[in-house]
Amino acid sequence: MREDRQKLWVDRFQTRLFIRIGVYLLIYLFCLGNLLFIWRLLEEGPGNPFQQYASVMVENAPALVCLALLMPVMAYDAIRFSHRLVGPLVRFRRTMESIANGEAVRPNKLREGDFLNELRDDFNKMLEALQKQGVPVLLPHDDAEPEQARKPA
Task: Assign 153 a pLDDT band (cuts: 50, 70, 90).
Answer: very low
The Cα–Cα gap between 2 and 83 comes to 16
Given a cut of 90, is residue 149 above it in pLDDT?
no
pLDDT band at 141 (very low <50, low <70, confident <90, very high): low
**Distance between CA atoms of 82 and 3, rounded to whole angstroms?**
17
Query: Cα separation of 58 and 95, whole Å?
Result: 55
pLDDT at 147: 46
pLDDT tens digits for range 38-51: 998 898 888 888 99
Cα separation, 123 vs 92, in Å, equals 8
Its sign, for the CA torsion 114, 119, 125, 127, is: negative
- Read off the pLDDT band of 1 (50, 70, 90): very low
**Model pTM score:** 0.60
